[in-house]
Amino acid sequence: MGEGPAGDFPVPLTPLIGRERELAGARVLLAGGRLLTLVGVGGSGKTRLALEVVRGEPGAVFVDLAPVREPGQFLPAVARALGLREAGAQPLPVTLYRYLRQWGALLVLDNFEHLLEAAGELAGLLQRCPEMRVLVTSRAPLQVPGEQLLQVQPLPVPDLRALPAPAELAAISSVALFAARVRAAQPDFAVDAGNARTIAEVCLALDGLPLALELAAAQVRRYGLAEVLARSRGRFMLWQSPRRGVPDRHRTLAGAIQWSVALLDAPAAALFRRLSVFAGGWTASAAAEVCGEPGMDVPALLATLVDQSLVVAAENRSGLRYRMLETLREFAAAQLDLHRERERFRRRHLSWCCGIGAMVARLGNPDDERLPALDLAEAEFDNLAASLEGCGPAHVTDALQLAGDLYHLWDSRGHLGEGCRHLERLLARPQATVDLAVRAKALDALGLLRLWQDDHAAARALLGESARLAQRIGDHDRWAWTTSSLVISRAMGGDLDGTESLALRAVEVARAHGTRASLARALCGLALLRSAQGREAEASQLMEQCLQLLDYMTWARGKFSYFLGWFAFLDGNLDRAAELLATSLGAFELMGERRSLPDTVDALGCLAEARGQPAEALRRFAEAQAMRAAAGSCRNGYLARRCTLAEVRARAAQADVDPPPGITAREFQVAHLVADGLTNRQIGRQLAISERTAERHVENLRRKLGVGTRAQVAAWVSALPTLG
């Protein structure tokens, strides 16, 4: 496993000003303890300070919790930031615990205040993972054992009763920050005798709150210092919150934000409030599609909002993205409510997300670019989750369609638990029974996710209901696809009674009424059934047909090449296996596939062991194990036994272990291949000997061991002591 994820860590574009004491104190506290919470009001600069505290720390991981709506989604958000995925039977929290226990991390958890109910989960992480450290920003303490608190106060402000000389005034933190931000737009700006008092009064009126100071500084070039001061202490005061019990500094910040927004022209103000429907950021094109109107120059308006410090722009690996500080987003959302626009723009946001889902769902079409669709969905994960969670009763069908369309995202990118959560919640809502086609698709997606989590009972119930709905509405293609998934579940679980007729019927219906994808699915199900029945030659022929049908699909090429490579390996055709498995590996790596890639790597390990390369075999097995540890998955049953035996043999070869007394080295090899389930012909091909010679070795083994069946030979191998 690597040293942690390569996620996007925010890189501030401006220097930290006026926090030297807090910075030093935070670093001392974090070095001496494992949990430090930076506590302060909104706009006090907690996030900026946190980023500076961990600057240069190897392995620091930033987790923006602002888009996370429910305490129950805290651990999944941390796992996503670490690059961990749920791709099998192991629950995501277990994957997270195991990763952090082994590798540790320095987590920066930003905006924790709305998830305080999840503080116990964080405490559990710290207890189980002794190498982990956590830096939290929050408006309130977490109140868990071991928490250290550092209060982030507003910056010091000048004393108007004893105003210092301009040079000394400029060194006061609030003045230094204000002046530096003004200079970003006016390079010749300086604190001098003519403007010193006005600057001091602005800093005092804004209580030294960094966010308020930055908002005010952004207006100086347009309005001048005198007008900025007038707005800061005059009309600005009328906009303060009237609620009793609200701290003055909260009212000051709310007023500073409202003042800044009031200075915008109508189109910019409209865009500002509408952008609050996004979660976790957006691109310029997304803003135009969701929030724009005819004649609205969204890129220019975004530039204005960035200039006014109301929106933050940052470059990442996919280009320029925008986001709002959570304090500003809360204000913008309230403005959206005041203008009675929330429902309209949440609906447009959902429609935009549905467009992304439709692109992901079209992955089976040859003319579509598959990777960009998955990469886009991954980049907009927070927005997709927010649209699924926030849909009202009138839009449940659309949200359910979206959740089903995102199946390939949930599956191949390792978000199985997240996909299950959304699909189960939406399927349970009364409105989800209206469109039977949408419901059938969602049930199929949920059934497959449960299947890949090794929950075969739940998978078969869901897939069975989906097939019945498909039959009811006459959707033959859906029926063939879903029924084939049922066949795959039964073949994987060894439940073969009655499965053959179902598999043959699925192939028949797919040939007559289905798409190429559903026919390939049906043939794949029948191939896996034939393999489970020991009919490897037929299984290979069927899988070759699958590959021919969908060779234009990168993922399908990876999956079918893997199965063909595995069948070739079992048949002893090692050169052919190597060729096919290399094709599978390349396709999966190109797709960013997380669930199926470890299977291919395991198969390569078995291949290396069979070729007498124990060091390479052990390296491959360790690589696959690390991938599954990150994904929360486990080996399928058909792989587990063979891989385990291959690992034992590879470790024995590395340790130069002799076979038991009376057993020759060649017989020892043959015994392990018998335990792998290989026939005499397959053993002969794998060891480059004749089938008759392989048969003779098996007979010698049975005679020397005093057993009568191949199963007893396999039992003897299983009872041999393993090497650690």
Domain 658-719: which CATH class?
A: mainly alpha
Q: For residue 596, give Cα distances in angstroms to 297, 324, 560.
A: 44, 37, 11
HSE-up (13 A, CA, CB side) for residue 147: 20
Looking at residue 276, what DSSP letter applies?
G
Helix/strand/coil for 179: helix
The 3-class secondary structure across 346-413, one letter per residue, is HHHHHHHHHHHHHHHHHHHCCCCCHHHHHHHHHHCHHHHHHHHHHCCHHHHHHHHHHHHHCHHHHHHC
pLDDT at 487: 96
How far apart are alpha carbons 167 and 442 in whole angstroms?
A: 67
Residue pair 577/568 in contact by the 8 Å Cβ criterion: yes
Confidence of residue 4 (pLDDT cuts 50, 70, 90): very low
Encoding tokens for residue 280? 């976790």
According to DSSP, the β-strands at 60-64 and 312-316 are: unpaired
Cross-strand partners of 316: 319
Q: For residue 387, give Cα distances in angstroms to 128, 136, 274, 399, 597.
A: 34, 27, 15, 7, 30
Q: Give yes or no on whether 264-340 and 658-719 have one common fold.
A: yes
642 versus 36: which is more confidently predicted?
36
Q: For the chain, how far is it from start to end, CA to CA, in angstroms?
A: 20
H or E stretch including 551?
A: none
Cα 399 versus chain centre, distance: 20
Contacts of 493 (CB under 8 A, 6+ apart): 456, 637
H or E stretch including 149?
A: strand 147-151
Residue pair 567/682 in contact by the 8 Å Cβ criterion: no
pLDDT at 558: 93
Confidence of residue 251 (pLDDT cuts 50, 70, 90): low
- pLDDT (mean) for 693-714: 86
H or E stretch including 320?
A: strand 319-323
Contacts of 292 (CB under 8 A, 6+ apart): 271, 298
**pLDDT digit string, tens, across residues 148-198:** 999 888 899 998 888 999 999 999 999 999 999 999 889 999 999 999 999
Residue 722 pLDDT more than 70? no
pLDDT at 9: 74
Residue 326 pLDDT more than 80? no
23 versus 594: which is more confidently predicted?
23
Looking at residue 50, what DSSP letter applies?
H
Residue 137 pLDDT more than 50? yes
Summarize the chain as % helix, strand, coil (round to 5).
Answer: 65, 5, 30
pLDDT at 189: 94
CA dihedral 401, 403, 407, 412 (to 10 degrees): 150
Residue pair 90/634 in contact by the 8 Å Cβ criterion: yes
Q: For residue 442, give Cα distances in angstroms to 81, 398, 462, 606, 615.
A: 27, 11, 9, 37, 45
Q: Where would I find the beta strands (DSSP E) of 448-549?
A: none
Confidence of residue 365 (pLDDT cuts 50, 70, 90): low
Residue among 706, 519, 492 at smallest CA distance from 599: 492
Q: Tell me, which fold does domain 264-340 have in CATH?
A: Arc Repressor Mutant, subunit A (1.10.10)
**pLDDT digit string, tens, across residues 465-490:** 999 999 999 999 999 999 999 999 99
Q: Where would I find the beta strands (DSSP E) of 25-110?
A: 35-39, 60-64, 105-110
- pLDDT (mean) for 628-652: 77
Reported for 457-462, long-range contacts at CB under 8 A and 24+ positions apart, including other chains, are 459/485, 459/489, 460/486, 460/489, 460/490
**pLDDT digit string, tens, across residues 398-446:** 999 999 999 999 988 888 889 999 999 999 998 888 899 999 999 999 9
How far apart are alpha carbons 106 and 54 in whole angstroms?
A: 8
pLDDT at 7: 47
pLDDT at 6: 38
The sign of the CA dihedral 192, 193, 195, 200 is: positive
Residue pair 617/608 in contact by the 8 Å Cβ criterion: yes
What residue segments make up the domains of the chain, in order of their start? 20-151, 160-260, 264-340, 551-637, 658-719
Confidence of residue 112 (pLDDT cuts 50, 70, 90): very high
How far apart are alpha carbons 82 and 76 in whole angstroms?
A: 10
Arithmetic mean of pLDDT over the chain: 87
pLDDT at 497: 85
The CATH number corresponding to 20-151 among 1.10.10.10, 3.40.50.300, 3.40.718.10, 3.40.309.10 equals 3.40.50.300
Residue 500 pLDDT more than 60? yes
Alpha helix segments (H runs only) across 129-172: 166-169
Confidence of residue 630 (pLDDT cuts 50, 70, 90): confident
Convert 344-371 to b/e letters by CB count within 10 Å (16 or more is b): ebbbbbbebbbebbebbbebbeeeeebe
Encoding tokens for residue 388? 């699924």
Q: Quick one: angle between helices 691-705 and 665-675, nearest 10?
A: 90
Residue 244 pLDDT more than 70? no
Highest mean pLDDT among 13-17, 230-234, 385-389, 531-535: 385-389
Confidence of residue 240 (pLDDT cuts 50, 70, 90): very low
Residue among 637, 701, 654, 692 at smallest CA distance from 673: 701
How far apart are alpha carbons 717 and 61 in whole angstroms?
A: 46
- pLDDT (mean) for 50-67: 90
**pLDDT digit string, tens, across residues 367-376:** 445 788 899 9
